[in-house]
Amino acid sequence: MSEEQRPRRIDCDIHVGVPAMAVLLPYMTDYWREQFVSRGIDNMELASYPPKSPLACRPDWREQGAKPGSSLEAVRSHVFDGLAVDLAICSALYGGQVAMSEYMGAALCSAVNDWVRDEWLEKEPRLRASIMVPAQNPQLAAKEIDRCAEDRRFVQVLLLAANELMLGRSYYWPIYEAAQRHGLPIGIHAGSMYRYPTTPAGWPSHYLQDYASAPQVFSAQLQSLISEGVFGKFPNLTFVLMESGVAWITPYMWRATKTWRGIRGEIPWVTRPPSAEVRERVRLTLQPFDGPDRGEQVERLIEQIGSDDVILFSSDYPHWQFDGADPIPPGFPAGMVDKIAWENPLNTYGRLRESLQ
Amino acid sequence: MTSTTLERTTAPAAVGAGIVDCDIHPSPRQGGASLKPYMPRQWHDHMDQYGDPHNGPYASVYGFPRYMPGTARRDAWPENGGPPGSDLDLMRSQHLDRNNVALGILEPLGFGTTARNVEYGAVMCAAINEWQIDEFVDREPRLRASIVVPQEDSAASVAEINRRGPDRSYAQIELPSLTLEPLGRRRYWPIFEAAASFGLPIGIHVGGPTGARTASGWPSYYNEEHLSLVATMQTHLTSLVLEGVCEHFPDLRFIMIEGGIAWSISLRRRLDRLWRTMGNETPHVRRPPSEYMAESFYFSTQPVEEPETPAALTEIFEQVGWDRVLYASDYPHWDYDDPNYAFRGALPDAQANRVMRDNALGLYRLPHGARAPGEA
């Protein structure tokens, strides 16, 4: 197949791994460098992704002794070559996003953003990145967005799915104001600050259950963003739900729309049904899909979502969501692959188009 | 948007011999005071002075105020002044007679299960259990009671189940969905063991006392809190399968009441996939989660999903399994599903019979010697 014929793909969710705190020290102030060194804080992996858990890295992508996603060579060979990807948006899920101290959180997020720029974006022109922000302090988060946004290779702002408050609350609006001002979508990625039990009925016993419950908090956050009026307040902001599982969205749309019809007087500023907000303002990354594997059922799922603009191609590398060389789930309509892998990402991430000119 | 006008369906017409309603809410006519005759004297003052504190900001109303008084249909307030669901005659005329209900399962809410003081909770549960029989079941042979238990105290719960279990006026054990911990956790297993010993299914009804409604804290609106109840159902289903309850109690049946249905399809795929990659964390789960789900769980219909095309609803029931779906009305609540109007588009006749009646008859135990509705 010639270069022109090859399908073009933008992978909207891959992860680069911070190998250890040591790589971030050069990007910290003297105070924070001393703090991390003298207190012996060597690593701050998220509880949402224990590095040795099977989910954190697909077995054939795991490199002995290395943190998942920490090698540029591995990303080149597994993602760009192995999955035939042309551009990829990477996120480094690490320490700062979940820190108990908002100042430590801000210091770590800044260090991660600078490290991603120097070690990944500078070295691999096919990579773009998410801006990590300390949602614990939305003012500091907005400052970090302003600082990083000058570099047009940062294409979105990243938040975790479970925080200290519901994401629709006005507390977080400075983050949305900054993101909208810079033309950056808000990516909400699976993962938790672990401030509350991982389910509304308490703590389960297993990591497996924590991870299985992710769609619960995504649907709660979507309902919060809608109910608090965020979509109306920030009319140019897109929300990308990353690694949420895709197929939960239709039951959510049915339920939320039915409830809205019954009690919308409680939230009079929400003037159209949740299903309409999803179609226009919400995007979902492809992996994990959690959808059917039969062609006609997948087509029906997409019909029921009611728009082919909503899904964005992603592999979720190096997380173990699928096997083999193709992140496109079995049964996915071949005619839609270009749409989700190329057009939809370009329409979602305004900054990606610049790199094509 | 496609039209959302509800169309009359043929579903109930196909069920000539009566329907089974898995979710009818009875209320004491004078609130807690109606239960005092069933409570030891020493607890009467406790009820008056301290009540049954919820885990919420107000002393006597719910933290997320409902959108209509009593969460109820505005026409369901009896003329005699009691709350909706307190007047058997009105229940008969508005629902049981009008909709040809042959069997209705009572699901009392908010008494006993919500008490942080489990000692008081046990007393309240015992009272509401006796009260259901006196006020409804003894007076109306179409109704069955639920055994309500103070679920956070498993020893007291087991004692209550053992006390009521032999009486076939009780059709199930009822648990709330906002429990302190996911229901598969070991602290609840004695309840399941007692349930299994009497062949009683466990009905898990949305709502209950406790906890932040999401993994990201508390929402602001009833519009959000209402949705969070779906997540409690997803939590318990996941927990009961992955903690090994379904494996350990293979004959026990769980009825997920008022939590929706469609979400179970994508959750089933998600659990199967994660079990394949990380099942070594839960070695006691020997088979794919979907297999346990297909055997151990039932789903009640109300509030029934309303996809934009009516055919999609039939497809949801098909995928969940026609043998897993049970009709429920939620009478007298505001989001009541009238059997004549609830389903957008007609269910096929044979399947309508299963959803509206037959599935439930195979699930709930009936009084000894009683005939199933429609049985010659």
Residue listed under structure tokens 């619960």: A216
Q: How far is CA B79 from the centre of its chain?
A: 27
Q: How far is A301 from chain B (nearest CA, A)?
A: 10
Nearest beta carbon to residue B215 from set A196, A266, A290: A196
Mean pLDDT of B211-239: 96
Helix (H, G, I), strand (E, B) or coil at A99: coil
Q: What is the pLDDT of residues A89-106, one digit of tens each?
A: 999 999 999 999 999 999
Mutate to test the interface with B, among A53, A98, A171, A206 (most CBs of B within 10 A): A206
Q: What angle do CA B201, B202, B205 make, to 5 degrees?
A: 140
Which structure tokens are listed for A186? 């808000």
Report pLDDT for A215: 98
Percentage of residues in chain A with pLDDT exceeding 90?
96
Residue A63: CB atoms within 10 Å: 15
Residues B27 and B83 sit within 8 Å (Cβ to Cβ): yes
Helix (H, G, I), strand (E, B) or coil at B222: helix
CA distance B172 to B189: 16
Nearest beta carbon to residue B270 from set A53, A167, A212: A212
Q: Which residue of A has its CA nearest to B206?
A: A201
| Residue-by-residue DSSP string for A186-201 | EEEEEEE--SS-SBTT
Q: How far is B144 from chain A (nearest CA, A)?
A: 28
Report pLDDT for B368: 52
Residues B231 and A219 sit within 8 Å (Cβ to Cβ): yes
Asked if B215 lies within 8 A of A220 by C-beta distance, the reply is yes
Residues B144 and B132 sit within 8 Å (Cβ to Cβ): no
Q: Does B184 touch chain A (CB under 8 A)?
A: yes
- Structure confidence at residue A8 as a pLDDT band (50, 70, 90): very high
Q: Which residues of B touch A306 (CB under 8 A)?
A: 308
Q: What is the pLDDT of residues A299-312, one digit of tens each?
A: 999 999 999 999 99
Percentage of residues in chain A with pLDDT exceeding 70?
98
Q: Which 8-state DSSP code applies to residue B72?
A: B
Mutate to test the interface with B, among A216, A241, A267, A297 (most CBs of B within 10 A): A216
Q: Which residues of A touch B181 (CB under 8 A)?
A: 201-203
- Structure confidence at residue B55 as a pLDDT band (50, 70, 90): confident
Mean pLDDT of A49-66: 94
Residue A10: CB atoms within 10 Å: 24
Residues A221 and B224 sit within 8 Å (Cβ to Cβ): no
Q: Does A250 touch chain B (CB under 8 A)?
A: yes
| Residue-by-residue DSSP string for B279-347 | GGG-TT--S-HHHHHHHHEEEE-SSPP--SSHHHHHHHHHHH-GGGEE----BTBTT---TTTSSSSPP
Mean pLDDT score of chain A: 96
Q: Which of B76, B100, B99 is nearest to B88 (CA)?
A: B76
B 67-106 residues with CB < 8 A to A: 67
Q: Which residues of A touch B267 (CB under 8 A)?
A: 212, 215, 248, 290
CA distance A89 to A153: 9
Report the amino acid identity of residue B268. R
CA distance B200 to B112: 20
Q: What is the pLDDT of residues B117-152, one digit of tens each?
A: 999 999 999 999 999 999 999 999 999 999 999 999
Mean pLDDT score of chain B: 91
CA distance A209 to A99: 23
Asked if B231 lies within 8 A of A220 by C-beta distance, the reply is yes
Asked if B215 lies within 8 A of A161 by C-beta distance, the reply is yes
Q: How far is B345 from chain A (nearest CA, A)?
A: 16
Report pLDDT for A6: 64
Of the listed ranges A14-18, A66-70, A121-125, A352-356, the least confidently predicted one is: A352-356
Q: What is the pLDDT of residues A114-133, one digit of tens each?
A: 999 999 999 999 999 999 99
Mutate to test the interface with A, among B204, B275, B277 (most CBs of A within 10 A): B277
Which structure tokens are listed for B208? 């209950």
Q: Which residues of A touch B222 (CB under 8 A)?
A: 263, 266
| Residue-by-residue DSSP string for A20-75 | -GGGGGGGS-HHHHHHHHHTT------TTS-TTSGGGS-GGG--TTS-TT--HHHH
Report pLDDT for B371: 52
Q: What angle do CA B188, B194, B195 make, to 5 degrees?
A: 90
B 18-37 residues with CB < 8 A to A: none
Sheet strand arrangement including A311-312: A10-15, A87-91, A127-132, A154-162, A186-192, A239-242, A282-285, A311-312
Report pLDDT for B367: 60
Q: What is the pLDDT of residues A205-240, one digit of tens each?
A: 999 999 999 999 999 999 999 999 999 999 999 999
Q: Does B223 touch chain A (CB under 8 A)?
A: yes
Backbone angles phi, psi at B96, to 5 degrees: -60, -50
Q: Does A304 touch chain B (CB under 8 A)?
A: yes
Residues B259 and B202 sit within 8 Å (Cβ to Cβ): no
Q: Sign of torsion, CA A181 A182 A183 A187?
A: negative
Q: Which of B249, B86, B81, B270 is nearest to A209 (CA)?
A: B270
- Structure confidence at residue B173 as a pLDDT band (50, 70, 90): very high
CA distance B72 to B335: 8
Would you report the helix, strand and coil content of chain B in percent, each value rounded to 5? Answer: 40, 10, 45
Report pLDDT for B5: 46
Q: Does A50 touch chain B (CB under 8 A)?
A: no
Q: pTM of this prediction?
A: 0.95
Q: Is the pLDDT of residue B94 over 80?
A: yes
Nearest beta carbon to residue A251 from set B181, B184, B262: B262
Q: What is the pLDDT of residues A261-300, one digit of tens each?
A: 999 999 999 999 999 999 999 999 999 999 999 999 999 9
